[in-house]
Amino acid sequence: MKDWKECMLESALTLGLVFSLAGCGSSASAPSQASAAPDNGTAAAETVKEFAADGKYTSLGMQVKDYIVTDDSATGLKIELNKDGTGSLDFGGGNAGPVSSWSESNGNFSMQAGVSDFTGTLKNGILDLDFGDGLVIVFAQDGASYDKSKVISVDEYEKIAKEAAGAATTTYGGDPAAAGEYSIYALESNGKCIKLPPEEQMVFIFTLKEDGSGTVTVDDEAESLHWKVDGKKLSLFEQDGTPTSTEYDMSIEKGILKLVVPADGESPEVIEYFVTKDADVTSLNAVDADTLN
């Protein structure tokens, strides 16, 4: 199957072949009614706009994974389906003509126009029309409900694809010596480093495995993560590769994980120190809280 870029480049050619040869059939099959759809989610709950399968459709763009990507060759195409099972289409550039037959049953759609046979799905006024070889174009009746945030430009999709590719190719881990279990040990603020009582040291733990996977555990609630060390800098990622530690400066050195929580205008900067079991903590000069009283 071709990738989305190949489909995008060839879509204009594919659409142009619909009426490139003679021969339009005349048989027709009576269409059934499409199921009801809400009116863009703006009407009251009890008000439902119904969409018959027959009607006028305009293309939104090409389906690429979870998105509808707009492109000159796949946007603004017109299809009109008549009640008697015939219709017409206009794909631009002089590529217009009759639809000799179409039918819909339980959401399954088929159409014959010119020398081309199409299949797809039709539900709630949204027609996903399969042009073959991985090219699916989404058409909508006026007022049909769809997630408009999923309709994006080619440039926007390129950016999303690059970010996803970057996340997928991230090399996690990076330093086996940084792996270990780090429990919170002390908090530093306003120049004072306070050692936490032993029972409090077990409520916040980072577990970093050599393969770059791990968990963060807070009050016995664990969440999976990925991690990477570049020099001393530590970065954390969700399972899908999304960075999660961008708000904080994090570093690891000699069994001590340092997490800096920036000041927010009301609270001063706080440094949280997490340590492994055998880490040398003398450099922190942490004092017990009771010695301050």
pLDDT by residue (tens digit) across 79-114? 999 999 999 999 988 889 999 999 999 999 999 998
Distance CA 251, CA 43 (A): 52
How confident is the model at residue 76, as a pLDDT?
93
Structure token digits, residue 274: 């997490």
Count of Cβ atoms closer than 10 Å to residue 176 Cβ:
11
Domain boundaries, the chain: 4-167, 176-292
Does the domain at residues 176-292 carry the CATH identifier 2.40.128?
yes
Task: Using CB atoms within 10 Å of the CB of residue 21, give its burial: 0 to 12 exposed, 13 to 18 middle, 19+ buried.
Answer: exposed
Instruction: Tell me the pLDDT band of 18, cut-offs 50, 70 and 90.
Output: low
- Number of helices (H) and strands (E), helices first, in the chain? 2, 20
CA distance 118 to 104: 12
> Between 267 and 152, whose confidence is greater?
152
User: Residue 21 pLDDT more than 50?
Assistant: no
The helix (run of H) or strand (run of E) holding residue 201 is none
Mean pLDDT across the chain: 83
Q: Which residues, 6 or more positions from 147, have their beta carbon under 8 angstroms from its beta carbon?
A: none
% of the chain exceeding 90 in pLDDT: 60
Once rounded to an integer, what is the mean pLDDT over residues 128-148?
Answer: 92
Integer Cα distance of 231 and 251 in angstroms? 9
Which of 32-41, 46-55, 90-99, 137-146 bottoms out in mean pLDDT, i.e. has the lowest? 32-41
Instruction: Provide the 3-class DSSP secondary structure of residue 9.
Output: helix
Single pTM value for the model: 0.50
Q: Which of 136, 157, 165 is nearest to 61 (CA)?
A: 136
Q: What string of DSSP letters covers 76-122?
A: S-EEEE-TTS-EEEE-STT-EEEEEEEEEETTEEEEEETTEEEEEEE
pLDDT band per the 50, 70, 90 thresholds, residue 207: very high
